[in-house]
Every structure is written in C-alpha cells, then in structure tokens.
Amino acid sequence: MIELLLLPLLVGCLVALISAPLGAFVMWNRLVYFGDTLAHSALLGVAFALLFSLTPSVGIALSCIVIAVLLWLLQKRSRLANDSLLGIISHSSLALGLVCVSLMADTRIDLHAYLFGDLLTVTMHDAATIAAIAVIIFIGVGLTWRGLLMMTIDQHLAQVEGVQVERLRLLLMVFIALLIGIAMKVVGILLITALLIIPAASARKVTRSPEAMVIVAALIALSSVCLGLAASYFFDTPPGASIVLSGTCFFITTQCLAKR
Amino acid sequence: MTEPLMQLTKVNVTLTNHAILHDVSCTIERGQITTIIGPNGAGKSTLVKVIVGLETATTGRIDYPQGKLRVGYMPQSLFVDQSMPIKVGRFLSLVGKQKPTHAEREHALTLVDMLHVLDKPLHALSGGEFQRVLLARAILQKPDLMVLDEPMQGVDINGQAKLYKLIAKLRDSLNCAVVMVSHDLHLVMAQTDNVLCLNGHICCHGQPKNVSRHPEYLKLFGAQVSENLAVYAHNHDHHHTPQGDVVNCSDECDHHHD
C-alpha cells in the first residue's frame, strides 16, 4: 500500500518545489487573481485535451497559455485587465469549460478529479509529463531570476536599465500557465492558487531576502505535500484538500512565530 | 564648448489624441543641472520619460552627439510591494545589466551618507532615507545622465535642502548631467544651471542667475540653508488660457522667451 503513495509523493513534491518561486512572484506582483483566472480556465483545457486526445496537463497548459497571452495583450493595449475583466474571464471560462465537458457525454470523465485533484491515481506517464514541464519552468525561472526581480521591484526602472520587461512579463505568465497545467493533478483547479500563495505567504514573515523567502516557501510546500498525503493515507481524506490545509497550518504557525 | 550629451529638437508627444508636449527643444550638457518646473499636467513627467526612453516622441528628433548614454533614473514613485522581503544591500545589487560589487554598493551608499542602512530591510526606511537609497541606486549605474523625477517627495524641508546640495555634489564627483523635476515653481536651487519652465511647451528657460532672493524663503530656512535656495523669479511675456493656449500680452511681461 505504501509504495502506491510513492509516485504521488514524488509528483507532489516536484510541483511543490516549482510552485514556491512562482508563488512568490505571484504574490510580489499581485497576480493572485490572475492565477485564479488561469486556473478556472483550466477546465476548458481539459475539454481541449479530450477533444484532441492529449495528456490533460498538456491540454491545460496550452489553454492557459492562450488565456495568458490574451490577458497580456489586453493589459498592454489598455487598462482593461482590472479585477472585473479578470472576474468575467475567470468565471466565463469555468462555465464554458463545464458546458464543453458535459457536451462530451460519451467520454465519461470524473469532473471531481479535475476540480479537486487526483494525486493518488497519477500514472508513470503523467509523472513524466509533469517532471518535464517542471524542469522547463525551473530552468526558465533560474535563467531570468535577476530580471524578474528587477521587473517586480519597478518595471519602469528595469526598462530604463535594459531589462526586456514586456517579454519577461509574458514569460512569467507562461510559466504560471504551465504550472497550473501540472498542479491541477495535485490539488485540482479550485485549489491551485492556494498552493501558489500559502507557502509564499507563510515564508514572508520569517525571511529577510527574496531568495530566502523562496527557499523557505519551497520547504513549507514540500512539508505540506508530505503531511497532506500522510493525512490522506491515515484518515482517508482527499489528498488535494489535505495538502492545502497542511499549508494553512504552516501559515498560521509562521504568523504566530513572527509576532514574537 | 563641448558637444551636448543629448539634444531634443521639436519633440511632440501626443497620447490618445491629446497633445502632452508641443515642440519641446532643449539640450543637456555634461556637468549641468537642469531643473524642469511647471504646473500640474504640464507634461514634466512625460518629458522625463522621453529623456530616459520610456516614452517615444510622436514627432521630433532626439540626438545623442556623444553616443549612447548611461542613464541613472530615479522614478517619481517606487513602492516595493510589502510582500517582498529585501534588504537595502540586495536592492542595490539589482541595478543594471551587471551586478555591482559589494565595494561599489558601499561606495554609493557612502556618497549619499547612508552606509548605515546597508543591512536594513528596505521597508523600514523613512521617506527621506529611501530617496537617498534611490539616489545611490542611480549612482551605481555610473551615469552620464542622472534623471530625477521629483526627488524631493516625502522629504521634509530641511532634508530637501540637504538633498539638493548632495545632488550638486554628485554632479561634480560623477561629472554627469542632471535633469530633475521640481514640483515647486519657486523653490529652485542656486546650483541649478538651467531652469526649464514647462507648460505643454517650453514657456521659458535660462540660468537662474538673476534670481532674486525672496525674503519669505530667507525667513523660512535661515541664512545658511538659503545659500542653497533661491527663487527663480520670472515673468511671462504671455499668458495661458485655461486650455493652456498661449495668449500674448504686451506690457506686464518683460522678459524674453521662445
């Protein structure tokens, strides 16, 4: 029984590691709602994947990239990309995804698995796709780290100093889209933002540099995955929700620690 | 006479059918401080953005007779999100394409008299301290041209006088040109070499040599500080309608302009 947990644990840890740096950037750049919008549009990606018989992760990543580029263009053109616009796109795409999936009635799919994660049924094939995407994000963020930080601090300043701000912003959005594609398997569409934000927010109060914050966030995310899976094993709770709740416990703990 | 660092010729900027800058021409020379003054909405920040390259001129020419410039830019406002933990030293390492060395960072902070904040969290600084750190950041660019958009924001009156003095000192030690925006029409430092009065177009420009000392300021700052403060007294030979159009007038305005 325990070896059945090995692959889920591995995949969960991989996603946790990648979500730490991106979660930090989502927080610093105030992209929480943006991440939420992408996550909600992921169901469209599921329908997409079914239609063209792709791996769900790839389908979701592709559809999220399309939405991300769309938002990036809208943001560049005008000031349309405010809360309301994100809200409209977020819920419209979720609704559209639900309708599309229900229209494909002949292909029976477990909606619950997509909405709340399905870590325990992860296959070797899933794991390989997730690992490949994770490596791409890891290398990408590593190479652009300094520019991303400069852009986060002030985009005009970064631009004057020769950072390709627009390109980097698009890249960050693509990374987030890719992450949502692989995180869906772990915690599900509705809980992805939690996986991004909670470890980063927990690490904020106990660290003093951006790098330290990311490392602590990664450790917290890893621990949350381990704890969540253990809880799921012993108490038979849903793994995705258990992982998020473990993160919440860490958040409360660090908030209390920092007060002293 | 050396060649100027930068030359703007009849620069126009129109944003969404709204003319922001109209036929602005000016030159920026090494070792000179140019202060841009003008009322709200005069296009001061837009002109600064054109100078640093954040805004492109709709029409007009911008020349760099001495080649491409290294620009140290201090934006009007900079709020590092509270959610990012960062110390001053690390903040200063995120400058330009090449990471400045530790010695360079310490040197820049020493120049602005802020070495003691090196290991402090950025969010713990006061407004005046933060402005100085931003100035140190601009210094680290080893600039040919320092562009400071309202550097006095959040700095109290005494701190302002010190900051003006510091900027003048930096101009000498870095041998660069300085362009800054001052929101205050009257408060222009004696070390300013050039004043550029902007209101969509350049109303007038020149050296604040003939500046008279305003008794109100003497009273406010005392004799010592007032050495660095002066009033750029100027009269217009034209007036503006509420829309900003120029209306010529004959007798009450007495000095020359473009």
Apex CA B197: angle with CA B193 and CA B203, to 5°?
125
A208 to B121: CB separation less than 8 angstroms, yes or no: yes
Q: Using CA atoms, how far apart are residues B255 and A89, in angstroms rounded to an integer?
A: 59
Cα(B23)–Cα(B138) distance, integer angstroms: 29
Per-residue confidence band for B127, with pLDDT thresholds at 50, 70 and 90: confident
B78–A159: do the CB atoms touch at under 8 Å? no
Q: How far is A153 from chain B (nearest CA, A)?
A: 5
pLDDT at B235: 53
Tell me the whole-structure pTM to 2 decimals: 0.83
- pLDDT tens, residue by residue, B225-258: 444 444 455 555 565 665 556 655 444 444 444 4
Can you state the percent helix, strand and coil of chain B, rounding each to 5?
30, 25, 45
Specify the pLDDT at position B186. 55
Residue A154 has pLDDT above 70, yes or no: yes
Contact A158, A151 (CB under 8 A): yes
Q: Of B66-70, B99-103, B130-134, where does mean pLDDT reach its minimum?
A: B66-70
Is the sign of the CA dihedral B110, B114, B116, B121 positive or negative? Answer: negative
Chain B neighbors of A25, CB-CB under 8 A: none
Q: Residues of A numbered 13-32 whose beta carbons fall under 8 angstroms of chain B's beta carbons: which are they?
A: 24, 27-30
B50 vs A contacts (CB less than 8 Å):
none
Q: Whole-angstrom Cα distance, residue A45 to residue A53? A: 11
Among the partner-chain residues B78, B84, B96, the one whose CB lies closest to the CB of A161 is: B96
- Tell me which amino acid residue A49 is: A
Q: Which ipTM value was assigned to this complex?
A: 0.82
- pLDDT, position B236: 56
Chain segment A200-243, per-residue pLDDT in tens: 999 998 999 999 999 999 999 999 999 999 999 899 999 889 99
B residues 44..63 contacting A (CB < 8 A): 52-54
Which of A:144-183 have CB within 8 Å of B? 146, 149-150, 152-154, 156-157, 159-162
Report pLDDT for B217. Answer: 31
Q: Which of A79, A146, A153, A205 to mutate to test the interface with B (most CBs of B within 10 A)?
A: A153
DSSP B115: G
Tokens of residue A87, six digits: 């809200």
* CA-based nearest residue in chain A for residue B70: A161
- Reported as a single tens digit per residue, the pLDDT across A46-101 is 888 888 887 777 888 888 888 888 887 877 765 555 677 788 888 888 898 888 88
